[in-house]
Chains A and B, each alone.
Chain A
Amino acid sequence: MAALDLITPAGGGTWRFPENEPLRLDSGAVLEGLEIGYQTYGELNADKSNAILICHALTGDQFVASPHPTTGKPGWWLRMIGPGKPLDPQKHFIICSNVIGGCMGSTGPASINPATGKAYGLSFPVITIADMVRAQAMLVKALGIETLFAVIGGSMGGMQAQQWAVDYPERLFSAVILASASRHSAQNIAFHEVGRQAIMADPDWRGGAYADHGVQPGKGLAVARMAAHITYLSEPALQRKFGRELKRDGLSWGFDADFQVESYLRHQGASFVDRFDANSYLYITRATDYFDIADAHGGVLAKAFTRARNVRFCVLSFTSDWLYPTAESRHLVRALTAAGAKAAFVEIESDKGHDAFLLDEPVMDSALAGFLSSAERDRGLA
C-alpha cells in the first residue's frame, strides 16, 4: 500500500500506478506508469463501507460534482449529488475517475509516451471497458477500499458497472446501470464509425500525430460530436426544442446555419473540441464497440453474472432512448434473473432520449434513492 500516501482521503487529483504494477490490457499490451485523474466527495467512514464509484459516460469526466476545469461548467451530475440527494457526500464517499484512454488527467493517447517523449497518438494501445475497470479497481484499492458500496454509471458508465460486477463481484455490494447495454449493437458501432471517420478524414488529424504538428482535427471531432449528439436525443425532444425554427428571419438561400437545430449542433460540436481530444474519442468509442460482456462467457450473458449473484442490481432504461433501447436493459435483467442475482428494473417514461439519465427525471431519482437506501439498510449503513 505504498500508493496510499500519494492520495488524499477526500478531494482528488492524479494517482500514479506503483512502478512494479503495470496495467495489463485485454489486447495483450502493458501500460507502465499509468496515471488516473479522479475526484472524491465526502469522507470514507471508519469501516470503509460507504464508498460509491461513479463511472462516467463516453465524453464525461471525473468532474461529476465540481466545476469543469476547462469549461467552468458545473459538475455533470450535480442534480444527483449533494446533501439530501440520492448520492450524498454527507453519508457517502463518492469517487469518480477519468477512464484510461481519456483526456482529463488519466493516461490516454494525448499523454506523453515516456519511451519517446512525444504524445502516444496511435501508438497508444487499444483499450476495452474491462481495461478501464481494471484500472479503476486498482485506484479503489489504493484508496484503501476493499468493497465498494455501489458502482453507478449511465451509458458507457453502465457498461463499466456491469464489468465491475462480472470481474470483481466480491468487491461490490450493489450496481446501478442506467440507460446502458451489455453489448454494442450494429447501429451503435455504425454511429461510432461515422464519428471516427469524420475525425480521420480531417487533414489535421495527421494519422493521429496531430500533437507533434501543433494542430488538432477540430472540424472532424466537431462533426463526430454532432452526429453522436443526435443519438443522445429523441426525435420528439429535438422537435419540441427546435422544430423548424429559423435562426433569423427568412432563409439564407445558402448553407449557413438557417435552422436553430443546425446552430445548436454546430455549437455542440465547437464547444466539444475545446474540452476533448480527438484520439481519445477514437479509443473510447472503440472500447464501447468491443464491449460484449457475454462474449467471454460462451455468448451466454447469464453465465457472465453467475459469480455476481450476491450483488444487488438496479437497472433503469428510458422509453425514448433509441441508442440503448429498453430491450437491451431487459436482456440484461433477464440474464441477471437467470443468474439468480437480486435485480430491480424499470423502464421510465421519458421523451428526452438517451440523455434522460443526466436530466430531471423524478422517477429515476426516487427509484435510485429507494434502491440505495434499502441497500444501505442491508449494508448496515443506515
Chain B
Amino acid sequence: MTIIREDFREILRLVRPSSRVLDVGCGEGALLDLLAHEKQIDGRGLELSASGVAACMARGLSVVQGDADQDLDHFPDRSFDYAVLSQTLQATRNPRHVLNELLRIAERAIVSFPNFGHWRVRWSLLSRGRMPETKALPLPWWSTPNIHLCTLADFMALIEDLDLRVDACAAFAGQGAARPIDPTKAVENWRAESCLFMLSRNGGPAIGEPSPGSGDLFDG
C-alpha cells in the first residue's frame, strides 16, 4: 500500500462522500485520485505546471492549467462543496483574495500552510540571524516560492478579519499523524509545524465538530 500523506489523510477524513471538490495546486492529482477512490467525489483540479496537468489528464482527472491568483475568479459561486489549497497559500500573490475566492467558489475551504511561528523557525532566526531553513521550510530565501509566510496567529487574525469560521483545525509535525488543535491557544503557535484548517463563512451551514480521534467524520 502506498503511503498517504498525513495532511491528505486528514482531508480524506474531513470531506463528505460524493461531494464536489476543487483542488487548487493539485500537482499530479494524488489527492484528487485518493478522494475519488475513497469518497467518490466529483473532483476538479487547478495546477500551474504543465507536467502536473498532463499527469492528471493521463490519469483521467479534470484538471485545468492555471494558478490560484488568476484563475479562481472564473469559477462560478458555490460550484463546489470544498476547495482545497494545500501548502500553497503562502506562495500566492494575494492570499487574502485567494482565501476569499475559495469561499466564494466553495462552501468550505480546506487550507494548509507552514506555521512561521513554530519554535524551530523562531529558534533558527534567533540563533543564526538568518532566514529559517527547517524541515517544513527547506529552501533558502532566494529560491523559496513562499512569498507570504505567516504564523498561526497571523492566520487567525486574517480569518477574524474576513469573518470566517473554523470548522476544523489540525497540526502536523514531520511524518506524525494529525493532531486536532484549538488554534486560538497561544501555545499552538509554538508547537504546530504545519496547520490545516477547514473554514466556512460565518452564517453558513454548520457541521458537527470533528471528533478528537482520527475516525472518519462521515462514517456512520
Contact = CB atoms under 8 A, between A and B. Distances in A.
Given A338-B75, A346-B50, A314 B64 contact: no
Interface residues of B, number: 20
Contact of B65 (A338, A347, A370, A373): A347
A73 interface: no
B61 interface: yes
Contacts, number: 67
Name the interface size band of chain A.
20 to 34
B40 to A, nearest CB: 12
A369 B54 contact: no
Contacts of A374: 59-61
Nearest to A335: B74
Contact of B59 (A335, A340, A343, A370): A370
B58 interface: yes
Contacts of A363: 50, 54
A366 B57 contact: yes
A344 B61 contact: yes
Contact of B64 (A337, A339, A373): A337
Nearest to A329: B65
Nearest to A372: B60
A367 B54 contact: yes
B20 to A, nearest CB: 10
B50 A334 contact: no
A334 B53 contact: no
Contacts of A377: 60
A342 B57 CA distance: 12
Given A337-B74, A338-B76, A342-B44, A366 B62 contact: no
Interface of B: 44, 50, 53-54, 56-66, 71, 74-76, 79
Of all A-B residue pairs in the complex, the 4 with the closest CB atoms, nearest first, are A374-B60, A370-B58, A346-B53, A367-B57
Interface of A: 312, 314, 330, 333-335, 337-340, 342-349, 363, 366-367, 369-371, 373-375, 377
12 contacts: A337-B75, A340-B76, A345-B64, A346-B54, A346-B57, A346-B63, A363-B54, A366-B54, A367-B54, A369-B58, A370-B58, A371-B57
